[in-house]
A and B are shown apart, each in its own frame.
Chain A
């Protein structure tokens, strides 16, 4: 199984400042079709998860442009350009290249300092 490792696991941030979350996979996520199936999800306190980013860098509809995804191969990053109060929650990466199983990272908790 592909292991997804996120860092940090806890990220205190100041409102208006940038934040960055790393996600590393145990093997390259480049698929035989040329796509890289790496998604990012946000789970606000008490809510269901919501997809933010698909295939590394594509924002889902309605996702603010302060969220961006980047990376390739085994190293990926979710960046928030300026953290707002509504961004508090847990962020997960997930790979969908080598399945089954589809695998998630452990989650990174973003909180306001």
Chain B
């Protein structure tokens, strides 16, 4: 059974940093692109970033470029999102998902940026 479990969310002040993690199991992690998607409170879905199987390609939505970094550790079956210079508008539930087609999703982790 495919499982994706996010962690690392919490309350952070504007300008602060957080590192999200996604632990994957039930599939060969190193064989899949991985994606982060976020959902602001009461809003729709927004694609944030994704990363190729070997980490050689990474893509970001314009609003997070230069502030967020996606990475992965295939030996640990884990996906990460380092978020720096956080803003109020980054407040959202962050989901990790398998593949560019988002065929499986985790339960999400809430990031709140507020003073």
Contact = CB atoms under 8 A, between A and B. Distances in A.
B11 interface: no
Interface residues of B, number: 21
B108 A48 contact: yes
B46 interface: yes
Interface residues on A, range: 20 to 34
Interface string B37-70: 1000000111100100000000111100000000
Interface string A12-51: 0000000000000000000000000101010100001111
Contact of A48 (B44, B46, B95, B101): B95
B59 A100 contact: yes
28 contacts: A37-B101, A39-B101, A41-B45, A41-B102, A48-B95, A48-B105, A48-B107, A48-B108, A51-B102, A51-B103, A54-B101, A54-B103, A92-B45, A94-B45, A94-B47, A94-B102, A96-B101, A99-B59, A100-B59, A100-B60, A100-B61, A101-B59, A101-B62, A102-B35, A102-B50, A102-B100, A103-B47, A106-B44
Interface of A: 37, 39, 41, 43, 48-51, 54, 60, 90, 92, 94, 96, 99-107
A37 B103 CA distance: 13
B48 to A, nearest CB: 9
B9 interface: no
Contacts of A54: 101, 103
A106 to B, nearest CB: 5
